Amino acid sequence: MKFSRNIVTFLILCSLLAACSTAEGEDAAEVFKQAEKASESLESVAMDMEMSQTVSTEGDESTGDMNIDMSASGEMQIDPLLLHQTLEVDTAMGEMAEMPAQQIEQYVTEDAMYMTNPMNGEWMKAPQAMQEQLTQSASLETQSPTKQLEMFKDHISDFSMEETEDSYKLDVSATGEEMKSLLSSVMEQSGNDMMNEEMFEKMSINRTDISFVLAKDTYYPETVDLSMDITIEEEGQTVHMTQESNITYSDYNNIGELTVPDEVMNNAEEMDVPGL
């Protein structure tokens, strides 16, 4: 169970990325500075995400492959913080037949999470203990596109920058200890301390590529792309995970007020989660 929880924690964190002229250092730092300033005017944003993940496990307890394809579409409000999204998850495990796609709708606030049961569509509310764990592992605030970018500001010197007519593209590629250092710093800034030094020692980062595209006129992120290849060894188990994800942001400050509907709050039954 400890091994599974550590893997889930890492996935959540990661749960938490024409011809051009290239620049580094001060230019990229200035773009980060302007993006940080632009975040002060951010009120709301729409998001679309596509993620493909493959997890291969070998060891004494279990051996097999799992493929997960997930798409999500939603809106986020900054003050008060509220995320509303719909998700579709397709899962295939080894030689087993592909499972039916699961469709889930969610409302997430700073102190509550509501979601539909993928089996019957009825609303459920996460128990307080589960909500506290989610808050520790992935703060809702850090899902804001500008906050995601700000978490990398202390490592701006690691980024390269390409400039086009209407955008800036910031890229970083790293492996091994270099990326471990960056991830450790990012987690510290996001308030996430669930992945300790021992877990990092058991992880081999084979390759990670992160890319941000920012609009020139607003300095708001337009897309975030993440490509990752890692291996984790623990308790006789070896897990190799590859992930490709893309997030597209749109409709900045053009979304009406978001609230959790009364029918959701009044009808949601608390989820029965073993061990909580």
CATH of the domain at 183: 2.50.20
* Interatomic CA distance for residues 243 and 230, integer angstroms: 9
Q: Which domain holds residue 122?
A: 21-270
Cβ atoms of 145 and 45 closer than 8 Å: yes
Residue 276 falls within a domain, yes or no?
Answer: no
The pair of structure tokens assigned to 223 is 């897309």
Residue 5 falls within a domain, yes or no?
Answer: no
**Exposed e or buried b per residue across 236-250, where buried means at least 16 C-beta atoms within 10 angstroms of its C-beta:** ebebbbebebbbbbe
Residue 1 falls within a domain, yes or no?
Answer: no
* Interatomic CA distance for residues 191 and 176, integer angstroms: 23
Give the chain's length: 276
* Interatomic CA distance for residues 68 and 54, integer angstroms: 6
Q: What is the dihedral of CA 173, 174, 180, 183, to 10 degrees?
A: -10
Residue 112 falls within a domain, yes or no?
Answer: yes
* Interatomic CA distance for residues 42 and 255, integer angstroms: 11
Residue 157 falls within a domain, yes or no?
Answer: yes
Residue 96 falls within a domain, yes or no?
Answer: yes
* Interatomic CA distance for residues 141 and 97, integer angstroms: 37
The predicted model scores a pTM of: 0.79
Looking at residue 7, its pLDDT comes to 45
Residue 16 falls within a domain, yes or no?
Answer: no
**Number of domains within the chain:** 1
Residue 15 falls within a domain, yes or no?
Answer: no
pLDDT in tens, the chain (276 residues): 444 444 444 444 444 433 333 444 448 888 888 888 888 888 999 999 999 999 998 876 667 888 999 999 999 998 888 999 999 999 888 766 667 889 999 999 888 899 999 989 999 998 877 776 665 544 555 566 766 666 676 777 778 899 999 999 999 887 766 666 666 665 555 444 545 566 667 778 888 888 999 999 999 999 999 898 989 888 788 989 999 999 999 999 999 999 999 999 999 999 877 655
* Interatomic CA distance for residues 114 and 247, integer angstroms: 22
